[in-house]
Structure 1
Amino acid sequence: MAPCGVAAFLCTVIVASAQSFDTLLRNDECEDDCALSALQIKTSQGGQEQSWEESVLGAWAQEPGCQGVLKGQCGVGAVVVEVQPETGIVSRTLYTAGAGGGPAPFDEHKMTSIFPVASNTKIFTSILLMALADHGKVSMNETVGDFVGQECGDLPVAVANITLLQLSSHTSGLPAQPTNRHMEDCKKDPVNCNPFTKYTVQDLCQTLREVKLGPKGHYLYSNLAFGMLGYFMELRMGVPYEKLTQTWVLQPLGMNSARITMNESQWEELAPQGKDASGEGRWRRQPYGILQGNGAFLVSVPDMGRLVEAMIKAERGQETPLAASLRQTLQPMAWSGFCACNACEEEELLNLSIPTAERGVVAMGWESSSSGLRRGWHKAGDIAGYSSWMAFNAALGRGAFGVDTCGGCGAQLGSLRGSAVQRMVQLLADGPPKKVSPLPQVAKPELAALVGEVQACPAAPGKLQSTSLAGLSLTLRDGKLLASTTSFTGEESDVVTATPFSSAEADGLQAFSGVVLELSGPVGTIHGGPREHGPLAEVSQWRTIHFLAEPSAPNKRGAAVLHVAGADVFFVDDVSQCP
């Protein structure tokens, strides 16, 4: 074991509590089993000012949906990653908090616990696919028929011709789930339920023969597709998916905690049990079948920070393991729906060919995320007992990952907002609001063109917006552009200055211009009415409005798109013109 040397890398562990937090340093050159050295310990005496990040963790702990029976029984762990653009120096800061301000169920000093990262596994599968393609082991144009055509016999031509590229970008037309998952074990043992247990190649062949495809080339989120990808790589290389991913992806990135297979004692020692809304324990302890590539891995929070760091460096063109393969997973492929708390698996939000009320861009497993006027990326992961989110913005050099053991508390049925931890991580990835310098000599006619009132487009039939804002008003006074908002419950915000920006850079599909606001918003979800379940925790954050100049925009000024929690929310003059 290499000794811990000079701490050129900063790793801080903070317990988001009113009583205390610990600050520790470690050297990134240390091997994983080198313990964190407590070089400095600080104690907060209640009155000490919190950092903005601590306030976000504290806000999560106050979310009404994360209290009740969950208070003191579950918690959240998160890592914030910052990469300095000039020096490449990296800091990773670890945070943990308990629901309702209770104790967090984590090792607060080492954060060695591992968690089901669920659909974040899809990112590992995408990187594995690109790494194998880069080494000539597979071709992105190979098809489903090339891998299982002989085993499955006569498959529908449209299914047999699905390519690996389509599988990896959610554009294959395959549905979210197989038609024949094994749900019988979940009825017998809901605590340890895994519907992918015992799933065999014969089961896969049956699904592929009877599945109804959506339109190829359009976004349709698919657990089935990514499960197949992992299995196909296993077939090609003759190595189990877990070992293959560890060798080609996880170990090169230093993510040595990641595993799928564990014995009973490892489950008890390494993986804190998740809870559902009733406080019942939840675990996906039953082993996976062949579709592991869609969500089987368990990983520590610090190791997920290593992935975020590598993605930021790769997109910035900085040196990092697997840089070329990581960059290729970020190729924009199609418009997508906003995916949060499994909403992406509901088909009425999908099959998109143009931007809709809440939209983004899909790459290879990644979904677009916006911070300021810069395009970033995120990935969600939800299973019973746990909710997680990973997001980063390479232009800002910042990203974050977080997971709860509270079953996605703070999520609201029928909402696209996502769980409280998902909202929290997006805020941590965006970073604290900063002073924004306006563009010099912005012409008054240009500002005047932005003046007016717009309303939020509906997200989808029966769905709520992920943002609480229903209306947006922009006025011009003494040469300054001012903005105010109205919520769906009729609450009006204070008037704030809107700082105009423009950008000639394309995000892969279009260029934009817009304004930046500094507002505040809740970490958790909007409930049935204002303050219905107690005070919602709010933190200061950026809200960015892009005015899109494109022929397909639904009004003459172009749609105003509010970026919040990674989503693009369309505002228009006339809601009847919404896409």
Structure 2
Amino acid sequence: MTARQEARPAADGPPHRDDGEKALLLAEAARTIEAPGLVLALSDRNRRTYWLDGGGRPDDAPRYELGSASKPFTGLLLAALVAAGRVRYEDRAAELLAPGHPVHPSVRAITLRHLITHTSGLPGLPADFYPQALPRWSTAPYSRYPADRVVRAFLRARPRHRPGTRWHYSNFAVSVLGHTLAAATGTPWETLLQREVLGPLGLHGTRLRPGPPPGDAVGHRRDGTPLPALDTGGFPAAGAVRAAPPDLLTFLEAHLPEASAPTPALAAAFTDVRRPLLRRGPGHAHTHTLTWFRHPSPRGPVCFHAGATLGQQMFLGFRPDTGTAVAAMCARRVHRTDPFVATVHALLTERL
């Protein structure tokens, strides 16, 4: 299989590698990953290179489910709304969602910043999510847990830790953030994201609801059995985005410091989401921005986020110091023994 190059206006400075070297690196990485529908997409100072399973043109590639890699979109939306003066990071979610509703003191203290940075003290999912999800765990676990139930679960929650004191990854928290932004602006989350982020960035092929193949990729179990499209129920802000490789590179390229943002609010938002906010990981060696994991590398910090749905896998990452971005996706959820995430992370941090 050969990689495809796509010339775009180049940023200032020489390219890191020539096109042939980049194509070879993508092909070598692809050989280590055994998954259907694999796509590796690289932007190096706005010059794009793709490796696609089965060949074809990047513009003809389907949309993939981003899963948790949707969260950078929600974080960018929050930052843009803050920059526009429509909300503040320190606004309390419960007061925006249900003014005057009695809540636990720790819930009352949870801010929008706590929700997006996974420091709210909320669990990964509501306690009552699992009994209703287990009968549909491998096909549609979120589908019967709607938005109003997510909000009710938040208002009656008892956080495990005082907000702002510990990091704990939470789909629940980011979903609450989406509903809170909708309540604060009087605009549905999907409309808000489209108006403030997707539209201005020109991500016209990106969707927030599933569509039929071939426009949308079909996910698979490990044995190759196809799976239905993901229904996120009341958790869209945590995992509902669907996008094709070119749109994902456009999204990542917009995060690079030399990029020109289409609006003043987005210009301020990109600065905010690149800035490290807290330390986490072994020895607190890794930092976290408003919405990206941020790890050191030999050529400067790497910002990234992975995602998985029932039958698809995603990795998004960029290096602000070198103008490099990588999007990788496949149509099968990988497991701990699979090299997908490790291979793509190493490609971005060590090879490019």
Is 1:312–2:256 an aligned residue pair?
yes
- 1:172 corresponds to 2:133: no
CA distance in 1, matches of 2:273, 2:32: 36
1:405 and 2:352 matched: no
Are residues 325 and 226 of structure 1, via their aligned partners in 2, closer, same or farther at CA, if it must alter by over 3 Å? same
- CA offset at residue 57 of structure 1? 3.4
Q: Which has the higher strand share?
A: 1
2:317 corresponds in structure 1 to: 391
Deviation at 1:335, TM superposition (A): 1.4
In 1, Cα distance between equivalents of 2:20 and 2:131 = 46
Identity of aligned residues (%): 21
The separation in 2 between residues aligned to 1:110 and 1:206, in whole angstroms, is 41
Return the letter of the residue paired with 2:305.
Answer: K
> 5 Å matches for 1:101-116?
103=54, 107-116=56-65
Q: Check whether the contact 1:78–1:95 (CA below 8 A) recurs between aligned residues.
A: yes
1:399–1:428 CA contact under 8 A, matched in 2: no
Whether 1:125 aligns to 2:70 is no
CA contact (8 A) 1:94 1:302 kept: no
> How far did 1:297 drift?
0.8
Quick check: 2:38–2:52 contact (8 Å CA) kept in 1? yes
Does residue 144 of the first structure (1) align with residue 93 of the second (2)?
Answer: yes
Counterparts of 2:3 and 2:149 in 1: how far apart (Å)?
52
Measured in 2, the distance between the counterparts of 1:209 and 1:122 equals: 24
* Equivalent residue, structure 2, for 1:478: none
Aligned position for 2:13? none
Q: 1:299 maps to which residue?
A: 243
- Aligned residue for 2:325, secondary structure, equals strand
Structure 2 CA distance for aligned equivalents of residues 213 and 22 of structure 1: 48
Q: What is the 5 A alignment of 1:466-505?
A: none
The answer to whether the 8 A contact 2:79-2:269 is kept is yes
1:95 to 51, 62, 65: 51
TM-score (norm 2): 0.86
1:61 counterpart (18, 31, 37): 31
Higher RCO (C-alpha under 8 Å, 6+ residues apart)? 2
Which amino acid counterpart does residue 211 of structure 1 have in structure 2? R
Q: Does 1:380 align with 2:306?
A: yes
SS at match of 1:205: helix
Corresponding letter in the other structure for 1:337: G
- Superposition deviation, residue 375 in structure 1: 1.6
Residue 45 (structure 1) aligns with:
none
Amino acid at match of 2:152: C
CA contact (8 A) 1:182 1:197 kept: no
Matched, 1:422 2:348: no
Deviation for aligned residue 1:227: 0.6
State the Cα deviation string for residues 181-237 of structure 1 (Å, max 9, x = none): 26646625834x242544232443234424332243222111111111111111122
| Equivalent position of 1:279 in the other structure | 224
1:360-379 correspondence runs (5 A): 360-379=286-305
Query: Does the 8 Å CA contact 2:314/2:328 hold for their aligned counterparts?
Result: yes
Match of 2:277 among 333, 349, 370: 333
1:300 counterpart letter in structure 2: A
Is 1:323 the counterpart of 2:267 in the alignment?
A: yes
Q: Is the CA contact (8 Å cut-off) linking 2:106 and 2:159 kept in structure 1?
A: no
Displacement of 1:155 in angstroms is: 1.0
Counterpart residue number, 1:235: 183
Larger mean Cα displacement after TM superposition, 321-330 or 52-61: 52-61
AA aligned opposite 1:95:
W
Counterpart CA distance in 1 for 2:83 and 2:251 is 19
The question of 1:75 aligning with 2:31 is answered: no
Cα distance in 2 between the residues matched to 1:203 and 1:230: 11
Secondary structure of 2:345's counterpart equals: helix
Partner of 1:294: helix, strand, or coil?
helix
Instruction: Give the corresponding residue for 2:12.
Output: none
SS of 1:187 mapped into structure 2: helix
Q: Which runs of 5+ in 2 are unaligned?
A: 10-18
> Which amino acid is 2:349 matched to?
D
* Residues 355-374 of structure 1 deviation map (CA, whole Å, 9 limit, x = unaligned): 25xx4111111111222152
Question: Match for residue 173 of structure 2?
Answer: 225
Paired residue for 1:572?
none
**Which is greater in Rg?**
1
Any conservation in 2 of the 1:391–1:425 contact (CA below 8 Å)? no
Q: 1:194 to 1:259 in 2, by over 3 A?
A: farther
Contact 1:309 1:399 in 2 (8 A): yes
- Deviation, 1:250, is 1.2
Asked whether the 8 Å contact 1:390–1:400 carries over to 2, the reply is: yes
* Cα distance between partner residues in 2 of 1:222 and 1:422: 20
Measure the CA separation in 2 of the matches of 1:392 and 1:24: 18
Question: Which runs of 5 or more residues in structure 1 are unaligned?
Answer: 1-16, 29-48, 84-89, 98-102, 339-354, 413-418, 434-579
